Amino acid sequence: AGTVRFHPAWVEFCRDWDVTPKACGPYRARTKGKTESGVKYVKRNALAGRGFDSFGAMERHLEEWMAEADARVHGTTHERPLDRFEREEKAALRPLPSRPLPRRQQRLKRKVANDALVDVDTVRYSVPHRLVRESVEVQVGEQQVRIFHAGKLVATHARGKEPHARVVDEAHWEGLWRPRTVEPVEGSSKLAVHGRSLEDYAAVVEHAGKRGAA
């Protein structure tokens, strides 16, 4: 049997919450089948075919859905999940840690897309456009996202909370587009492009000539 190696961030999370991680055996679906069935049930029954204007709207919908789901008779246990929880599971729960939990920071590797954005948990953050297709390191804090390239900080953003949102610093796209030029209208002077007509320039020349003659 091989040695189980958990990700260091997961080990820290378990230590913070005073839980012990356990790995399921490979090729043994029965060891995690019940968990996967629950996820499938939520996806198909609570979320499939529905759209939400915001993450908060989805959370409110799920709160209402859970209240209904807990009151239905379960097909395997033949009792309501709420009744089973109150009778057997509630007493086994432990209180949350009383001490403040340390803030952990994710460190992720990402490749900059062609639109100068990097994806973190479905939220996309901008970086300077010169880094397109380059590899960067993303440090994700509780409130802030910082992006580094070759050890140098290249972007700082407030952490986005809405799934599929874009968090963009317009300065990262400067230089991508050339200044717009205005084509002269047919039959008009090229000088008119600069906002003045030939009459304006003629008046200036005439005025200068009069001053010189004086």
Q: What is the pLDDT of residue 79?
A: 92
User: CA dihedral defined by 165, 169, 174, 180, rounded to 10 degrees?
Assistant: 60
Strands 123-126 and 117-120: antiparallel
Enter the tokens of residue 151.
Answer: 């050890």
Q: Is pLDDT at 91 greater than 80 in this prediction?
A: yes
Distance CA 90, CA 19 (A): 17
Helices (H), 18-97: 33-41, 55-70, 81-84
Q: Is pLDDT at 108 greater than 70 in this prediction?
A: yes
Q: What is the pLDDT of residue 28?
A: 74
CA atoms lying within 13 Å on the CB side of residue 161 = 8
- Out of 26-40, 86-100, 116-130, 155-169, which region has the weakest mean confidence (pLDDT)? 26-40
pTM for the predicted model, two decimal places: 0.45
Q: From start to end of the chain, where are the E strands? A: 106-111, 117-120, 123-126, 135-140, 144-149, 152-158, 166-167
81 vs 97: which has the higher pLDDT: 81
Q: Are 52 and 61 in contact (CB under 8 A)?
A: yes
Q: Is pLDDT at 193 greater than 70 in this prediction?
A: no
CB within 8 A of 77, min separation 6: which ones? 84
Q: What is the pLDDT of residue 106?
A: 81
Q: Could you read off the pLDDT of 41-50 as tens digits, one per residue?
A: 889 999 999 9
- Residue reference for tokens 């380059």: 134
Q: Is pLDDT at 12 greater than 90 in this prediction?
A: no
Q: Are 128 and 116 in contact (CB under 8 A)?
A: yes
Among 147, 142, 117, which Cα is nearest to 129's? 117
Q: Are 139 and 125 in contact (CB under 8 A)?
A: no
* pLDDT level of residue 4 (50, 70, 90 thresholds): confident
Q: What percent of the chain has pLDDT over 90?
A: 43
Q: Could you read off the pLDDT of 110-160 as tens digits, one per residue?
A: 999 999 999 999 999 999 999 999 999 999 988 899 999 998 999 999 999
Q: Could you read off the pLDDT of 48-63 as tens digits, one per residue?
A: 999 999 999 999 999 9
Q: Is pLDDT at 75 greater than 90 in this prediction?
A: no
Q: How far apart are the first and last CA of the chain?
A: 106
Burial annotation 108-145 (CB, 10 A radius, 16+ → b, else e)? eebebeeebbbebeebbbbbbbebeeeebebebeeeeb
- Per-residue pLDDT, averaged over 78-101, amounts to 86
Q: What is the pLDDT of residue 183?
A: 61
The pLDDT mean for the chain works out to 83
Distance CA 68, CA 41 (A): 13
Q: What is the pLDDT of residue 138?
A: 94
